[in-house]
Amino acid sequence: MLDIKFVRENPKKVKENIQKKFQDEKLPLVDEVIELDQKIRELKMTGDNLRQERNATSDEIGTLFRDKKVDEANAKKQRVVEINNKLENIEKEESELSEQLKDKMMVIPNIIDDSVPIGKDDSENVEIEKFGEPFVRDYEIPYHADICEALNGLDKEASGRTSGNGFYYLTGDIARLHEATIAYARDFMINKGFTYCIPPFMIRSDVVTGVMSFAEMDAMMYKIEGEDLYLIGTSEHSMIGKFKGQIIDENELPIAMTSYSPCFRKEVGAHGLEERGLYRVHQFEKQEMVVLCKPEDAMDWYNKMWKFTVEFFRSLDVSVRTLECCSGDLADLKVKSCDVEAWSPRQQKYFEVGSCSTLGDAQARRLGIRMKTENGNQFLSTLNNTVIASPRSLIAIIESGYQSDGSIIIPKVLQPYMGGLEVIKAKK
């Protein structure tokens, strides 16, 4: 959410930013919030003047009673009653207009960074750099679900019976490989100086609306019936919410955390759900990075964080590339974002395995997270980045390590987490 003062002083820039995101239907909101803000400020001024008059009148009443001027005192008392009635109406109107202002401000997108390429959707995202060779095997690589089933590692038929489409059972060495990757991701980030955390997996609605836009919320979140609780779509939601309403001493910044959680998503949209595979599912597990820092340090952290993900996947012998998200592909709270995509030797193309974003002070402003400085309390910046989201990372490891005999080579860094196992082979 933007600062209303910024909108008031920079309406042209705010409108240009909306146009860059191809959300022209939101252009009228800028003039509407400025008009609402003007009305609210006028009401505040009127209210302040009335309160001053009331205080002065109250002082006069005491003096008049002491001087035995009862009639004049009673007339002044009547004026105080009139002022109180007016203030009650003003405060009610001010509260209603403030709520309208907040609702409209929550829909206006954050100002994107000047470096963000302009484009309508993800088809216009821009490749930044490749890491590792995008190789092609001289033998056929089956669909990842078929590989897992051949290794007795996946049962989608059973999950269909228990839970429906979009769920899965992982078993045996494939399940172990999945958990090994999560454990390695945890240790990888701890070694980078991040504090490990396991957050709540359900959060209240005021935290949800603090960390994401309404459109994202409707498309992603599962609500617990009869309670003000939502299943998290990523641990970033809980991790940022941890600091809701807090004032953090600037000397304690940056706060760098890595968190594990299961994630739950509706996955509403054009992509739908794969019936057989593990790429788009309702339930998965994730290791996340979350950073709270001073605004001037945000871009340095942004570049460090996506590089950590690249380094992580390269340590698994998975080739990746980074993709700059264009303006139309950025969620409304984001200032800048890039995706990390893994190479699929089966499809001979890249697919998304992670995303890094800096959100400026948008989440901090919505959740009331401030830093204490010599110049007073100020909103800080928040960033998040995927270390891994499995089973997508599992797909990348399986395809990259698939051998012509149907076995999978386990990356060396994961072998200690697999009890020293080097290869997953089909069990006869």
pLDDT tens for the 428 residues of the chain, in order: 899 999 999 999 999 999 999 999 999 999 999 999 999 999 999 999 999 988 888 888 878 778 778 888 888 888 888 999 999 999 999 999 999 999 999 999 999 999 999 999 999 999 999 999 999 999 999 999 999 999 999 999 999 999 988 899 999 999 999 999 999 999 999 999 999 999 999 999 999 999 987 777 777 899 999 999 999 999 999 999 999 999 999 999 999 999 999 999 987 544 445 567 898 899 999 999 999 999 999 999 999 999 999 999 999 999 999 999 999 999 999 999 999 999 999 999 999 999 999 999 999 999 999 999 999 999 999 999 999 999 999 999 999 999 999 999 999 999 999 999 999 998 76
Write the CA distances from 414 to 179, 184, 237, 335, 391, integer angstroms. 10, 7, 28, 35, 15
CA 153 to CA 146: how far, in whole Å? 10
Q: Is 118 left (phi over 0), alpha (psi -120 to 50) or beta?
A: beta
Query: Cα separation of 391 and 358, whole Å?
Result: 25
Q: Quick one: pLDDT at residue 74?
A: 82
CA 15, CA 12: separation in Å to the nearest integer?
Answer: 5
pLDDT for 270? 41
Q: Structure pTM? A: 0.90
Distance, CA of 19 to CA of 111 (rounded, Å): 11
- For the chain, the first-to-last Cα distance in angstroms comes to 58
- 166 phi-psi bin (left φ>0, alpha ψ -120 to 50, beta other): left
Domain 4-105 has CATH 1.10.287.40: yes
Residues of the chain with CATH 1.10.287.40: 4-105
Architecture of domain 122-424: 2-Layer Sandwich (3.30)
Q: How far apart are CA 248 and CA 373, in angstroms?
A: 9
Q: Which DSSP helix (H) or strand (E) runs through 257?
A: strand 255-264
